[in-house]
Structure 1
Amino acid sequence: MNGRSKIRNIKELAELAGVSTGTVSRALAGSHLISLKTRERIQALADEHNFRPNALARNLRTQRTGAIGVLIPLGHETGQHMSDPFFITMLGLLADALTERGYDLLLSRVIPTDDLWLERMTSSGRVDGVIVIGQSDQSATIDAVAAHYHPLVVWGGYSTGQTHCSVGSDNRLGGDLAASHLIAQGCERIAFFGDPKAQEIAHRLDGCRDAMARAGLLDQLTVLPAHLVAEAAHPDIASFLGHADQRPQGIVAASDVIAMSALRVLAEQGLSVPEDMRVIGYDGLAMSEQTVPRLTTISQDLNEGAGHLVDMLLRRIAGEETDSVVMEPRLIVRMSG
């Protein structure tokens, strides 16, 4: 075989290198069982002859696909899309982290019509593990799969006794921080905008109630189950705030997107923020710095969260046990609150 001939498979590369096919396979995979000098020599021969190992064949041998499933279940908000600012931010962070670890990302937006939506992905043989973004109203389904499928990690709130491994902020504390700040600014009548059918949003509402109860103002808290989609949230918020007799002095929004819809409605109704009403969002998205006025928000540190999700999933793929991570949220005070 001369220096210009094309190598078609690992066997031919092994013959050229004068080693076994197993040595070549391990060397190209970067195994430290093979000396660095041998790995570099075999890689140089492969590069010289433009040889690339067949990924499918390698995956069949290792029983790995090289792909991670990322699912977004929308049981409580079927009109939400992957273009949502929160999803775009989280997906970008996950894609970067997974790519750096050598994995592809298989993305799916799911409108649950039965209890098998997660089982179909985990049993498909298409992925090595699954990340679910948000429990929505599907916690029971996620727990049922997590009981027998180990490489599964979920972004979302933590509830005592849950089976699945989750990463997320302390949503109850976040809601408490938001309401406590509004109370400290003199707000007595506070409205919570968000649909508590979703677990994370329910926890944020519980935190608001905690703060209001401590201040003796629980009867002054009202709840508008606003949509997470801006276009859908706008008319409900406009109707709610259109009645002067029931207007709150402050709003805790379950997301930055809902908070931005509230800012738009208040501007349309000729009300000033924060003079006439204070508004606090939740998520800490980059775009919250670009609103007018700049949005006060509860930050979840999505960059740290995405890192935890990927790290814990890969550890679970390797057979490790991992505990859920509850990150501490942070109040970012800007001009709206």
Structure 2
Amino acid sequence: MSDISKLAGVSVSTVSRALAGSPLVPEAMRDKIAAIAREHGYVVNHAARNLRLQTTQTIGVVLPLGHETGQQITDPFLLEMIGHLSERVIQRGFDVLLTKVTTPTEGWLGALVQSHRFDGMLMLGQSDQHAAIEEIATRYPPMVVWGERLKNQSYCTVGVDNVYGGRLATEHLINQGRKAIRFIGPPRVPEVEARHQGYLEALKNAPRQKVPDDLIESHFTFDGALETVRDLLRRRVRFDALFAASDVIAHGALTALAEAGLRVPEDVALVGFDDVALARSLNPPLTTIRQDLALASQMMVDLLFKRIAGEQTSSAVVPASLIVRGSSVRVDA
């Protein structure tokens, strides 16, 4: 930089400001200094600059998967969400650091924060780590979590109204004349528990609907759902409709039903949750509860940067909507 200042006939501080794009340096001089820098192979050391400014220019995207060690980043929901978040972060001139935590140990989140590898954190799901997130939120404000808004939580969340979404899906199946509707998904996950709550509320408010004692446990994976529904069929568990906690679970269920020679929706109606691209390409196309992931990602990033700037922000709720397709409506309906 000292050499460039001599060649340009200006001070080192002027070179520094010019290469940073400062409007305090006239445009013609900025162009002249940039040309000299290119000619002599000068490259800004961003690591050193960020160290001086006490910033990383990086946002952490964290996936805590304590409830589901088998779930991959290639999961359609995670892929879409990470893609939307990354686009929004990059538009703000920041990089993205992706971290997947499959076996969270005590203190894992505190250690991640203390690593100082990012300026703020976007977390995808609470998993079974609500207590750890709650504890760190009291001393780490720049964090926004995609998930269910829980009672008395202190951290900022963005998420769909899962209870309402659960009611929508179940009421739709009831309106299709289904009498034995079962819910399938992983327990002890706040979002799934809320969807299950909406499911139960809809059944209790409907005449002549049997309310099952519990949900059908399944992993958040295609293979897990496939084996779960295969087992239901082997045990001759009675149902004429399945409400799956995710589109991926619904995909596994659909495959198991087809293997058994059962027709969807004639024999078994099927509804998912998320409305990822996969839902539209299944045969039949999947009825599902839509979460607007593009909107949700925009909200998460906007809230995070407000918190990085020192603002206090409230949690936000994304609308849920029912998308009706061929997996739940009989042809003669």
Relative to the length of structure 2, the TM-score reads 0.91
User: In the TM superposition, what are the counterparts of 1:177-192 in structure 2 within 5 Å?
Assistant: 177-192=168-183
Give how far 1:283 is off.
0.9
Which of 223, 246, 253 lines up with 1:231 in the alignment?
223
Residue 77 of structure 1: aligned partner: 68
Give how far 1:97 is off.
2.3
Residue 331 of structure 2: aligned partner: none
Which of 92, 103, 109 lines up with 1:101 in the alignment?
92
84-93 or 35-44, which deviates more: 35-44
What is the DSSP-based 3-state SS (H/G/I as helix, E as strand, rest coil) of the residue aligned with 1:150? coil
User: What runs of 5+ residues in structure 2 fail to find an aligned partner?
Assistant: 329-333
What is the DSSP-based 3-state SS (H/G/I as helix, E as strand, rest coil) of the residue aligned with 2:67? coil
Structure 1 counterpart of 2:70, one-letter code: G
**Aligned-pair RMSD on alpha carbons?**
1.9
Residues 212/38 of structure 1: CA separation in 2 closer, same or farther (3 Å cut) = farther
User: Does the Cα contact within 8 Å between 2:224 and 2:252 map onto a contact in 1?
Assistant: no
Which of 320, 323, 331 lines up with 1:329 in the alignment?
320
User: Does the Cα contact within 8 Å between 1:129 and 1:317 map onto a contact in 2?
Assistant: yes
Residue 232 of structure 2: aligned partner: 240
What is the DSSP-based 3-state SS (H/G/I as helix, E as strand, rest coil) of the residue aligned with 1:172? helix
Residues 130/212 of structure 1: CA separation in 2 closer, same or farther (3 Å cut) = same
Deviation string, structure 1 residues 220-247 (Cα, Å, up to 9, x no partner) = 3452011111112222211113444x32
User: In the TM superposition, what are the counterparts of 1:7-22 in structure 2 within 5 Å?
Assistant: 10-22=1-13
Residues 12/320 of structure 1: CA separation in 2 closer, same or farther (3 Å cut) = farther
Residues 224/11 of structure 1: CA separation in 2 closer, same or farther (3 Å cut) = same
108-117 or 192-201, which deviates more: 108-117
Give how far 1:146 is off.
1.0
Separation in structure 2 between the aligned mates of residue 320 and residue 17 of structure 1, nearest angstrom: 42
Give how far 1:33 is off.
4.7
User: Does the Cα contact within 8 Å between 1:168 and 1:325 map onto a contact in 2?
Assistant: yes
Structure 2 counterpart of 1:168, one-letter code: G
Structure 2 counterpart of 1:59, one-letter code: N
Separation in structure 1 between the aligned mates of residue 83 and residue 49 of structure 2, nearest angstrom: 28
What is the DSSP-based 3-state SS (H/G/I as helix, E as strand, rest coil) of the residue aligned with 1:220? coil
11-20 or 134-143, which deviates more: 11-20
Residue 210 of structure 1: aligned partner: 201
Separation in structure 2 between the aligned mates of residue 61 and residue 290 of structure 1, nearest angstrom: 50
What is the DSSP-based 3-state SS (H/G/I as helix, E as strand, rest coil) of the residue aligned with 2:82? helix
| Percentage identity across paired residues of the two chains | 44
Deviation string, structure 1 residues 180-232 (Cα, Å, up to 9, x no partner) = 11111111221000123111100110111121122145633452011111112
316-325 or 209-218, which deviates more: 209-218
What is the DSSP-based 3-state SS (H/G/I as helix, E as strand, rest coil) of the residue aligned with 2:210? helix
Tell me, yes or no, if structure 1 residue 55 matches structure 2 residue 46.
yes
User: Does the Cα contact within 8 Å between 2:133 and 2:155 map onto a contact in 1?
Assistant: yes
What is the DSSP-based 3-state SS (H/G/I as helix, E as strand, rest coil) of the residue aligned with 1:136? coil
What is the DSSP-based 3-state SS (H/G/I as helix, E as strand, rest coil) of the residue aligned with 1:247? coil
Residues 183/55 of structure 1: CA separation in 2 closer, same or farther (3 Å cut) = same
Residue 282 of structure 1: aligned partner: 273
Separation in structure 2 between the aligned mates of residue 310 and residue 22 of structure 1, nearest angstrom: 33
Tell me, yes or no, if structure 1 residue 91 matches structure 2 residue 82.
yes
Residues 45/320 of structure 1: CA separation in 2 closer, same or farther (3 Å cut) = farther
20-29 or 102-111, which deviates more: 20-29
User: In the TM superposition, what are the counterparts of 1:1-337 in structure 2 within 5 Å?
Assistant: 10-216=1-207, 219-221=210-212, 223-244=215-236, 246-337=237-328
User: Does the Cα contact within 8 Å between 2:180 and 2:209 map onto a contact in 1?
Assistant: no
140-149 or 79-88, which deviates more: 79-88
What is the DSSP-based 3-state SS (H/G/I as helix, E as strand, rest coil) of the residue aligned with 2:218? coil
